[in-house]
Each structure stands twice: as structure tokens, then as C-alpha cells.
Amino acid sequence: MTALSPLDKLMPRGYVRQMLCFPSTSAEVSHTLKTGLARVLADVPYLLAGIITSEDRKHVSLSECYQTLEDLYSEQDISDAIDYVVIKQHHFPPSSFAGPGIIPTDTQPPFPNPTPVFRTKLSLVKGGLILCVAVHHCTTDITGFGALLKLWASHCRTGASAAAGFDPAWLNRKALLERPDTSNRPTPASIPELLHVKGPDELTKIAALASQPSDPTTGVFFFPQKTLQALKHAVNKHIASWGNGGWVSSSDILTALLWSAVLSAESDPMSDRKGSNTIGFPVNFRSRFNPPLPPDYLGTAFIMTTATASRDDLISLSFHAGSSNDDEPLDSASISKLADIASIIRASLHSIDEERVRNVLLYLDGASGDHPPITLGPRHDGVSIVSWADQNIYGLDWGDIVGTCDAVRLPKLMYKRYPIVLPRVPANPAGDEGLEVIVSFDRQVFDKFRQSWPMRRFSTLRYYS
């Protein structure tokens, strides 16, 4: 039976969940999806298991398999309530997925114990379908989630494991610790810098946020790829003038823009801008091991890192010298600030190597049962930005019956959520190549966020509610 890795056990005790929208109206779609999922279970049997939480809630483990395909897969027909053509015209608004029964049972609090590893629900709507897929976060990260979808799509398309390309190495959690020379390495004596124990002040802040009543506004913004590419060209041209061979990606630039917009939206206009701000974000380390982990490794393989930038640079970037013309060329000061912030993010990403990750894994593996609760990542100021951009959902071919995905969404969020960059939207007849970002803030903060210069200048608000 597959055991959870020490890193798996640090994950949130909830679900990675996505709504996948398809235009298929085939009468065979349910049979195809269910048959394909049965083949996935033959490859990945622990999807039939559950996550067991200890009575003191300090520990989690994976149970034996106790479920059947019928427990994992369910469906409903709500074609009288949702019209696929209509929601597509409105860019698949998150409120469309808040209807009864679209989210599978047992995947929202309060959770049963054991909590199912996997649940999926097919909702047939007029002119298409919505497939909600939920996988427990203690068994995977967003890359592993994408690998499961890739496997499922391939089985729907071919019905053969060989064609699906499944490799049992994807399941090997021991691969995180069984590295060359690991047996001779001592467990770090002190907690590594990529981990921390929440202090009383941090716990108090978390408890206060959780107890606040909230009815936030959820919004989806779109950043065209051509806009991000043009910005990347301008910023890297400036960085080239530094003469150090540095560069940044469009993802680094997008993170910098979102960070600036968030900080300005949550800051008091009269507050002191002195000092710095620290952000947290995940780094997939599969390719950073030697030899690398399989790209489709199904367990958790990311580390949280941080970046620290000037608070004044971050906030002032969102006000862009007070310009009333968002279409005018970027001035050199704005390009310089953006280059500085994006370069700091790039340097933080580059700093995550196998040595630092192995120290984390060895420490977690050797930690005693009475160790204070460990949190992934160094301390930061509360803002975190997550990217699912590389999750290639739109590129998956689910076969003639199911087709290809039109949109990836989350339902309207009932809590505050810092930006999540959704899977990259490829070039299509509508010319919509680019990145979508979903956020959830209280209305006042949301309005300030959407009106900040980075969001006005570089994105389009597709939906909010």
C-alpha cells in the first residue's frame, strides 16, 4: 500500500478541486468517463483509500482501500438549470458552479474520517457538461493533480495503459528520500530555513481571520499572452543593461504585478511605505533533483519559498505616477521597478535546489511525534500567489466522446483568496491565448485591486460576483 511522504503530511487537509467544462453532448460521455476512471484506479489504486486523521488532529495517514468506483463517481442532469452556451458567452462565471450537487459529496467541511482521497461528479447541462474533480491535498499537489487528469484523459481516449504511458514510478513516494548518498547524510540539527513553526502571533492572526464573517467578491481577470510577452521584452531589455546576464519570465512579471496590486489594495493610502514586504509562493522541485523525479510524479513535490521587495516600489508601481492614460508607453521608472521586483522573484525561484529540499525532507522524516506543528515555507507577510499555469488541461485530448476542455474554474469562493493563476489558455479561434487569474476579497479590497494600475493596464475583468 502506498504510504504518504513526510511532505504529503504537511499539506492542507482539504481538496485540490477544479471544474472542467466540456461542450460534449454525446450520450456515451458518462460511460466513457466512468470506464476511463476504472482504468485509472487499476493504475492508482490508492484513489480508493481515505485520509485518516488522528484524534488529536496532529497526524494523518493513508487508509487501506475501502471504496468502489461507484463511491468515487457520481452524476446528475441539471440541463434545465444551466445552459452551456450561455455560461460560455459569459466566460464561465464561478457563480455558475455554485448550484446544488455540482461539487461531490464529502469534499467540503465537515469532512468524514477517513476522508476520501478522490471524488468526481459529472453534471450534464444543456449543450455540454461540467466535470468536478476533487483529490485530497495530502496525496498530491497541482502538478500531480494534472498528471491524474492526463492519465484519465488518455484512458478515455485509448483505453490502454500502454498508450496512457503510465509508469509505476509515479507512485513511489520513497523516491523523495531514497536519493544518492542520502543514507550517509545526518538529519539537520535545527529546522531548515524552508520550514517554520507557527508562533503565537501567527496562530492568533489565523484564528482571527477564520472567525471573521465574510461574503467576499470573486473575480476572474484575463492577461493576454501578447501583452505579457511585450512586457517581458521591455523588462528584459532593461535587465540586459545591468550586464549580469540576468533575465525574468513572463510568470515572474505577472507575479510582480499581482503582488503590487494586492499590496496596494490592502494598504491604507496614508500608511508608511518604508521597509519591505515578503511574499510566499510554491516551487515545483521535480526537475531539480539529480536524477530528476518523474514529471508526472503523483505525490507532493513542491516547496514554498519567499521573496522580499521594497514596500514603496510595490505600492507605487500600482499608482504608475498618477497617469490617467493607461495606454501610454511605460515610463523608465515603472520598468525599472518592475524589473527589480521580478528579478527578486526569479532569484528566489533559482535558490531552490536539491540540497535545500533534501534538508527539508530529512528533517521532516526525522522529526519526533511531539515536535511542534511544522509549516511549509519561511515566514512571510501573509500574501501568497499560486500558479497553475503549467497544468496543461487545455492540451489534453479526452477522445472523440468527451472532447477537449473549454474552461477550468473554481466555484464562487466563500472566503478570502489571494491570486491563483489558472491553467494557461492556449491560442484559439477567439484569440484568447493568455492567463486567467481568480481572486476573492471583500468588496472594498476587490474594488481597489481591480482599479490598481497593473490590473487596469494589463488585464480584462471577465467576471465578478
pLDDT of residue 212: 61
Could you tell me the strand order of the sheet in which 50-53 lies?
A: 60-62, 50-53, 115-116
Average of per-residue pLDDT values in the chain: 91
pLDDT of residue 326: 55
Tell me the percentage of the chain whose pLDDT exceeds 90.
77
Is residue 13 scored above 80 in pLDDT? yes
Is residue 324 scored above 60 in pLDDT? no
Tell whether pTM > 0.75.
Answer: yes
Q: What is the mean pLDDT of residues 429-444?
A: 91
pLDDT band at 321 (very low <50, low <70, confident <90, very high): very low
In sequence order, which residues have a C-beta less than 8 Å from that of residue 91 and are 6 or more positions away? 220, 222, 407, 462, 463
Q: 117-137, pLDDT tens digit by residue?
A: 999 999 999 999 999 999 999
Phi, psi of 23 (to 5 degrees): -85, 5
Q: What is the mean pLDDT of residues 82-110?
A: 92
- Tell the burial category of 78 from Cβ atoms under 10 Å away from its Cβ (0-12, 13-18, 19+): middle
Residue (of 282, 280, 333, 328) closest to 307 by Cα position:
280
Other C-beta atoms lying within 10 Å of the C-beta of residue 316: 18
The dihedral through the CA atoms of 146, 151, 152, 157 has a sign that is positive
pLDDT band at 213 (very low <50, low <70, confident <90, very high): low
Which triple of cell numbers denotes residue 104? 461531490
In sequence order, which residues have a C-beta less than 8 Å from that of residue 355 and are 6 or more positions away? none
Q: 336-351, pLDDT tens digit by residue?
A: 999 999 999 999 999 9
pLDDT of residue 215: 83
pLDDT of residue 2: 74
Q: How far is Cα 4 from Cα 360, in angstroms, rounded to an integer? A: 16
Q: How far is Cα 247 from Cα 396, in angstroms, rounded to an integer? A: 31
Is residue 162 scored above 50 in pLDDT? no
Domains in the chain, start-ordered, CATH in brackets? 8-173 (3.30.559.10), 183-390+414-464 (3.30.559.10)
Which triple of cell numbers denotes residue 247? 533575465
Is residue 444 scored above 70 in pLDDT? yes
Which triple of cell numbers denotes residue 23? 461542450
pLDDT of residue 330: 80
Q: What is the mean pLDDT of residues 81-85?
A: 96
Q: How far is Cα 364 from Cα 11, in angstroms, rounded to an integer? A: 13
